[in-house]
Amino acid sequence: MGEAIVVTSGKGGVGKTTSTANIGTALALLGKKVCLVDTDIGLRNLDVVMGLDNRIIFDIVDIATGNCRIEQALIKDKRFDQLYMIAAAQTKDKLALSTSAMQAIVHKLKMDFDYVLIDCPAGIEHGFRVAITGADQAIVVTTPEQAAVRDADRVIGLLEAEKIPPAKLIINRIRPHMVKNGEMLDIDDIISVLSLDLLGIVPDDEQVIKNANQGEPTVVKPDSKASQAYRNIARRIIGDPVPLMNLQEQSGFFKRMKKMMGLG
Amino acid sequence: MLTNTALEPAGQDYVTIKGIKNGLVFKLADDVHFDKVLDALTAKLGNGSSPFSSGAKVTAFVDYGNRVLTPEIQDAVEKAFLAVGEIQVKVYQESMVEDEPVPHKLLPKAPYVYKGTVRSGQMVEHDGDVIIIGNVNPGAHIVASGDIYVFGRLRGYVHAGASGNVRAIVAAAYFEPIQVRIATVIRRSPEAYAHPAEMEFAHLEGDQMAVEKMSFLQHFQTLIMSDKAVI
């Protein structure tokens, strides 16, 4: 029996889909059998980030309505044999998927996969409620911005109310030089507000945007900093005690910045 | 004349009228034939001194006692009232004559203790004092009719003395609220404020809000007590 993990944030645009794609791919890299599920019905884009948009035949609403079997809607990744995804429907709206249907789908997927990663839509309405049902764990993604942290806090409260075990936190798009200058929220500040365990921090990396546009998750390119961050997160998920990248990553980054400025 | 006065009290006994907060209770005797009661009721309502003659809108609650309530009886009673005017007729229930609510300051309520983080969008509301053992995050709301004590970081919205108690206070280990209300006074947190490493509390001085170190609380309460003596 696998584990279902929902990736959520409350606020839109903080990197839920990018994180889902990258963590899923990183888990597949570690030899796990992974299924990514896009629940952002009407605004699907996990398939685009994964570069699988041209392979969609059936989607999650087709499974829910009985149009097809789960196996038919599973899209196999073009890079990894162990990686699959289920796309969201683009022409329906959020109400097309009920919590009970979602629960049944997730339960069935958990039988076949080690990890089921659920990409949650932004917001806290029906789509959010559907995405979190059936999840055993939650990952909350936030960025070092007040608005994102506040939305994350709201979502954590809702997850607690749904009796989902304490979520793990990913702080995305950190710009170390801005944090250093006090222009961006500090990691410790964010953790002190949200009081969650930190699963990882991901530096802001232009490579991520470039790769997402090419339909290629960043983790497949081992050279970028963000790629390393996502690989570490995946290792922590499978229980590997990767030393807390928090400080290490930061110091590494600072060193690089200093070198760039000729100080190192 | 004599016969009339002798008869009337007996007839009036069948119907007793009592005023309650939201209307009038008509208690109908349940130990005589209903026709007699109905006659007495009609007589009372037709009487010039009927409570409805003033034209004021009053709800009539009819207490049938132990009488078995049939639709015919209920219908006849309603008709008797409607003959007088547009009167709302309801069947009387015990709960309608509850005593006036006692002002809450006479009833010291147990404080509500919340352990854990109060997150954005969450609300803790209590009639009495509220004690939070944990942080109150931005976007969280605490509303209390009494005082609010936060043993942690206060960064949310708080409203103490919500039912009008101007003597309520808001205290926090780390006092950085977005907004504080005490009774009807609202204060925003100053943009730049050097927080002392000490617990603080907010209270009202007239219609101004003041924030003091916790060591001032005892003095503040003495002031309140002397204030009370004047009132």
Subunit contact B153:A156, Cβ cutoff 8 A: no
Quick one: which H or E segment has residue A50?
helix A46-50
Residue length, chain A? 264
Say whether both B66 and B169 belong to one domain: no
Based on the domain organization, do B48 and B122 belong to the same domain? no
In a domain, B6, yes or no: no
Mean pLDDT of B126-153: 94
Co-location of B21 and B79 in the same domain: yes
Which residues in chain B (167-226) have CB-CB distances under 8 A to chain A?
A: none
Closest approach of chain B CAs to the CA of A264, in angstroms?
35
CATH number for position B212? 2.160.20.70
Alpha helix ranges (H) inside B14-167: 34-46, 71-82
Q: Are A19 and A160 in contact (CB under 8 A)?
A: no
Residue B198 located in a structural domain: yes
Shared domain for B74 and B119, answered yes or no, is no
User: Using a CB cutoff of 8 Å and minimum separation of 24, what contacts does B97-103 make?
Assistant: B97/B20, B97/B21, B97/B25, B100/B21
Residue A60's region, left for phi above 0, alpha for psi from -120 to 50, else beta, is alpha
Residue whose pair of structure tokens reads 């005017």 in the numeric block: B85
Is the model's pLDDT at A147 over the cut of 50? yes
Q: Which residues from B are below 8 Å from A189, CB to CB?
A: none
Give pLDDT, residue B5.
42
Question: Do B218 and B165 have their domain in common?
Answer: yes
My answer on whether B90 and B184 are in the same domain is no
Q: Are A21 and A50 a contacting pair, CB within 8 Å?
A: yes
Contact A195 B138 (CB under 8 A): no
Structural contact between residues B221 and B171, judged by C-beta atoms closer than 8 angstroms: no
C-alpha to C-alpha distance for B80 and A73, rounded to whole angstroms: 72
Partner-chain contact B120 A151, CB within 8 Å = yes
Residue where one domain finishes, among candidates B51, B68, B96: B96
- pLDDT at res. B154: 93
Q: Is the per-residue pLDDT at B231 higher than 50?
A: no
Query: How many structural domains comprise chain B?
Result: 2
* Residue B2 resides in a domain: no
- CA nearest A154: which of A194, A184, A114? A194
Per-residue model confidence (pLDDT) at position A76:
96
The enclosing H or E element of A127 equals helix A126-132
Query: What is the C-alpha separation between B136 and A193, in angstroms, rounded?
Result: 9
Between CA B201 and CA B216 the distance in angstroms is: 9
**B208 in any annotated domain:** yes
Residues B131 and B88 in one domain: no
If phi > 0 it is left, if psi is from -120 to 50 it is alpha, else beta; for residue A262 that is left
| Ordered strands of the B59-63 beta sheet | B15-20, B23-28, B59-63, B88-91
pTM confidence score: 0.68
Nearest chain A residue to B118, by CA: A157
The reported pLDDT for the residue numbered A123 is 94
Q: Is B156 on the interface with A (CB under 8 A)?
A: no
- Tokens, residue A244: 């807390």
Which of B113, B121, B153 is closest to B135 using CA atoms? B153
Domain of residue B79, CATH code = 3.30.750
**How would DSSP label each residue in A148-217?**
HHHHHHHHHHHHHHTT----EEEEEEE-HHHHHTTSS--HHHHHHHH--EEEEEEE--HHHHHHHHTT--
| Contact by Cβ (8 Å): A109, A3 | no
A255 interface with B at CB cutoff 8 Å? no
Could you tell me the residue range of the domain that residue B177 belongs to? 112-225
pLDDT, tens digit, 9 for 90 and up, residues B111-126:
999 999 999 989 999 9
Task: Give the H or E element holding residue B185.
Answer: strand B185-188
Pick from A157, A192, A194: which is nearest to B121 by CB?
Answer: A157
Digit-coded pLDDT (tens) for B36-70: 888 888 887 776 666 666 666 777 888 887 777 78
pLDDT tens for each residue of A149-195: 999 999 999 999 998 998 999 999 998 888 788 788 888 889 989 99
- Residue A30 is predicted with a pLDDT of 95
B125 within domain boundaries: yes
Question: Which of B137, B141, B157 to probe by mutation at the A interface, max A CB count within 10 Å?
Answer: B137
Angstrom distance (rounded) from CA A74 to CA A84: 6
Residues 6+ apart with CB under 8 A from A144: A171, A173, A174, A175, A178, A179, A184, A185, A186, A187, A190
A47 vs B: CB within 8 A: no
| Alpha-carbon dihedral A89, A94, A97, A99, rounded to 10 degrees | 140
Same domain as B124, residue B24:
no
